Amino acid sequence: MLPSLGDLNSVITLSEGNTPIYELPKCARITGMEQLYAKHQGMNPTGSFKDTGMTVAASFARQEGFRWVACASTGNTSASMAAYAARGGMRSLVLIPEGQVSWGKLSQALDYGAVTCQLKTDFDGCMRVLNEVVQRMPVCLLNSVNPYRLEGQKTAAIELLEQFNWLAPEHIIVPGGNLGNSSALGKACLEMKELGLISRLPQISIIQAEGANPLVRAVRENGGKKLSPMRADTMATAIRIGNPASWKKAVRVLEATGGTVEQVSEIEIALAKAEIGADGIGCEPASAVTLAGLKKLVKQGFVKRNQHVVLILTGHMLKDPDFTIKFHRGDLFQGEEDELATLKNQQRAPIVLDANIDAVLKVLEQA
């Protein structure tokens, strides 16, 4: 199911894939589901789902003789590309929006040796500049428009089905940014169905942040026939994308699998992220849109309480610790006391104490 590389010496791998499936019992209870599972793609070597696509795309770039690879990114693609380029002896150029990429992801690109440019624009602006760069220079574009990236990202769905003994879950729920991942997962499911590896298709649903919801708007306003680019804004910076490259493919996946789209607010994202954390798993903000979206799909009756649902967690919790600390300290949001009250149960601010046993015992008693 993957493109075959002519020269196996070109393979660049960091032992990506084979990521775990976790049960989320507390999240299931909160959502009203009998059971709930997550496949954690943040457990890949650079901490996000990008690695399974990058091993394929970087290997083909090396086989084709490229000395430079490049991407525009909200952070995870750049971290992954920089690592695979370094392992494969290629140079890498990263274009990221200034001030909108978490320190964890930026620090990865630097350590893996990428030439890292912070452009004074958003992700969509970085993409525009990069498209011109690759036309003028012999640089291999490793954004998810690179077909090898999407082929590699199919493996998440193939593994998932294998982990469930080829019994397809009723629903797979995935975050939507540039819409490469949902496209890849959908393509994999359709191919597995065609090959007879599975007998029914999971419904693939895509969740976006309210402030970065071009696909949700397109589907609701015109049935997904036309997408109007927008200026995107969300604290889930990984999915702060207003002009997604793979939107047509994503619409085809929604249609072919009978999935749906939904959008979630910043508060809903933050709460869901802490709830996934409280199950001992954790993820980055963009991944948490899946649980926040599932809550809505259950309320709407689109997902039934006894159905088998798998959330795709796309990034590791430690990608964006700033967000997590601000959330627990109560510094993430201002205003709307009523709305913020829903967060209190999940907030655990660090407690600063004198170094004495009585102070600690008192905290324990109160807890």
Q: Is 211 one of the binding residues for ligand F0G (CB under 6 A)? A: no
Q: Is 186 one of the binding residues for ligand F0G (CB under 6 A)? A: no
Gap between the Cα atoms of 43 and 285, Å rounded: 15
Gap between the Cα atoms of 235 and 116, Å rounded: 22
Closest distance to ligand F0G from the beta carbon of 348 (Å) = 23
Taking contact as CB under 6 A, which single stretch among the options 23-31, 179-187, 213-221, 350-358 is the one that binds ligand F0G? Answer: 179-187
Gap between the Cα atoms of 16 and 330, Å rounded: 36
Q: CA angle at residue 134 from 128 to 140, to 5 degrees?
A: 120
Helix (H, G, I), strand (E, B) or coil at 266: helix
Closest distance to ligand F0G from the beta carbon of 50 (Å) = 6
Residue where the block lists tokens 């696509």: 53
Q: What tokens does 197 get?
A: 């590896």
Taking contact as CB under 6 A, which single stretch among the options 11-19, 177-185, 256-264, 328-336 is the one that binds ligand F0G? Answer: 177-185
Q: Is 100 one of the binding residues for ligand F0G (CB under 6 A)? A: no
Q: Is 181 one of the binding residues for ligand F0G (CB under 6 A)? A: yes
Task: Single out the residue of 235, 284, 293, 309 in contact with ligand F0G (rule: CB under 6 A).
Answer: 284
Closest distance to ligand F0G from the beta carbon of 284 (Å) = 5
CB 188 within 8 A of CB 1: yes
Contacts (CB under 6 A) with ligand F0G, residues 221-280: 238-239
Q: Is 75 one of the binding residues for ligand F0G (CB under 6 A)? A: yes
CB 327 within 8 A of CB 270: yes
Contacts (CB under 6 A) with ligand F0G, residues 311-340: 314-315
Q: How many CB atoms lie within 10 A of CB 98?
A: 12
Q: Residues in the site for ligand F0G, rule: CB under 6 A? A: 48, 73-77, 144, 175-182, 238-239, 284, 286-287, 314-315
